[in-house]
Amino acid sequence: GQIKLINGDKEITVNLNDLEYEQLSGIRVNGKGEEIPMEGKGILMRDLLKTVETKEYETVQVVADDSYTAEVTVEEVREDGKVCLFLQEEGGLRLVVFGDENSKRSVSDVVQIIIE
C-alpha cells in the first residue's frame, strides 16, 4: 500500500513498506466513551511528517479511502505519542489520537495526508 502526503504544491507518495514502524501503545476512546487499550506496530504522525520537508503548518487533514476526513492540530502532532498511524491487520494505516474523546478522529484505511 501507499500513502500520499500533500504539503502545499508538493506531493509525495510513500510506500508503506518503506516506513520504519515501532511498537506503539495507548488508550483509545470509542464513541460510547469507553477506554480501549491499543497496541501494535505503527508510526507517530510527527515521524511520518519528517519524511517530507514540511513548512510551518497548523493542521493535518487525514483522508480515508472512502473520502472520510479527520483533522489533527500541530500541537497534537507534536505531543509525544498522541497522534499515531497503526498498521491494520488487513493492510493500510489507521489514524489513532490517544486519549481523544472524539471517536470520529479514529480513521481506518488512510490514503492521504494533507499538511496545511
* pLDDT 10s digits, 35-66: 999 999 999 999 999 877 777 889 999 999 99
Would strands 107-115 and 2-7 be described as parallel, antiparallel, or unpaired?
parallel
In the structure grid, which three cell numbers stand for residue 10, read together?
Answer: 508538493
| Rounded-to-integer distance, Cα 105 and Cα 97, Å | 7
What confidence score (pLDDT) does residue 26 get? 95
